[in-house]
Structure 1
Amino acid sequence: MKKILGFLGLAALTLSLAACGNGDAAKKADANQLKSIQDAGVIKVATSADFAPFEFHTVSNGKDKIVGADVDLANEIAKDLGVKVEFMDMEFNAVLTALDQGKADVAISGISATKERKKSFDFSDNYFVPEQLVVVKKENVDKFKDLESLADKKIGAQKGSIQESVVTSQLPKAQLVALAKVPNLIVEVKQGSIDALVLESAVAKAYVAQNPDLAIASAPLKSSDDESYAIAMKKDSKELKAKINAVIKKLQDENKISEFVEKNSALAESQAKK
């Protein structure tokens, strides 16, 4: 019996040491993430390319391409690291999951660095402060001039986005309708299946430009620091985070990020007119 107990104790100790070893290896992998990206020569970016002007699809010379302000930002980061970019397009509510599972190195997709998300991920400094707007059918724009007029209405938001919490916190009497893709929500508004849709200002304006039967309502929504966009990384990505923050600061000092947003807003609008 003592031999059996001794063996079980040894086995438990071995498993415990192995677990510790795996934990140490994971920490080491995180510490060497920047080096791993540079050694691979590519940074894998998880995104959801249905969020013009930040990330969206366009066709150039017969080829589908992901473009946008976030794409320009990712390209600047890659240039600074001396690597190429590989964009991984998926539904927005899967973007952080892909990062958590190690399928992506970073997530850049108009992501708000909320307190809850910061428990699981590292975030860069904020690079864009969005304004939240309400998109409705043009024929109904005069009906929604204040938040009270949206009470008891069906309000859309992208699943997993900060706009979900905007609806639940600022329009508590409304019925939230959350879908994975913004274009699907746009269709719902146009068909009258939902009464309104909450979107970030540049995104809202881009979709309204593409759809003349839509308009931006004057019902005012408040913005907060929690809604500002930042780049998500795995926990303990200190070296990578420092590099990314340096690029963001440089671009902000040169007013480049605002230029990226304006340029891609114009691109999305011109694409809609074709």
Structure 2
Amino acid sequence: MKQKLSIIKIGGNVIEDESELSRFLSAFSAMEGLKILVHGGGKLATQLAEKLGIKSQLVGGRRITDEESLKVITMVYGGLANKNIVAQLQANNCNAIGLSGADGNTIQAHKRPVKTIDYGYAGDVDGINANTINALLTSGLVPVFCAITHNGKGQLLNTNADTIASEIAIGMSTLYETTLYYCFEKKGVLLDIAKDDSVVKHINTKSYQDLLDQKIIADGMLPKMENCFHALNKKVSKVCIGDISMLQPNSTLFTTITL
């Protein structure tokens, strides 16, 4: 039987709220077993870009990463956000190590091809280096990945953090029984967006289609759910979506997704 590994992606609204971030990192540190954390920091990057006079461009919620934007993203994701998280984890007796995909050649990607929109230096993941990540885990370290990858030719790339978390869970599933957690400000997938406790506790392939038909799952939740089922179809054990309380041992109010 494979050992269990948890991959947790933290949402931007949690990162930007100091008290919520502190609460999350405390809960994350208390989780037993092997674990990996993935984070973004898009709003922080946008705020810094504005201060530097760099205009941020978003199309359909996705960032256009030009040369100047990439510099800001690298500073914020790989620097400010990542090191702040790592330092706070150390304060919680969690021996974390901050990484981008370039570190240890852990996440390889390619620049997204131009179709109708040129996303600039946006990266789509080709694969992860499971052996290197495993070496960190087995040495007692907790990897903390920011949303930056590389193309193996010296070019850093901005990559969606949900996708990175999904691809890490897929890549590590050859060695471990992997569970992917998407942790954000809501308690899970909701039947009614206005009611925080209207959580859909379990979704599978059939019920997902029903929720799509009823337009209960729509807009920003769609790409997240696509990542979930992509991971499940690539041998990830299960995917969970919820708020910080989901990480606590006796929690039941969150969404679990299986095939």
Measured against the shorter chain, the TM-score band is under 0.3
Relative to its length, the structure with more helix (as a share) is: 1
Give TM-score scaled by structure 1 length: 0.26
Give TM-score scaled by structure 2 length: 0.27
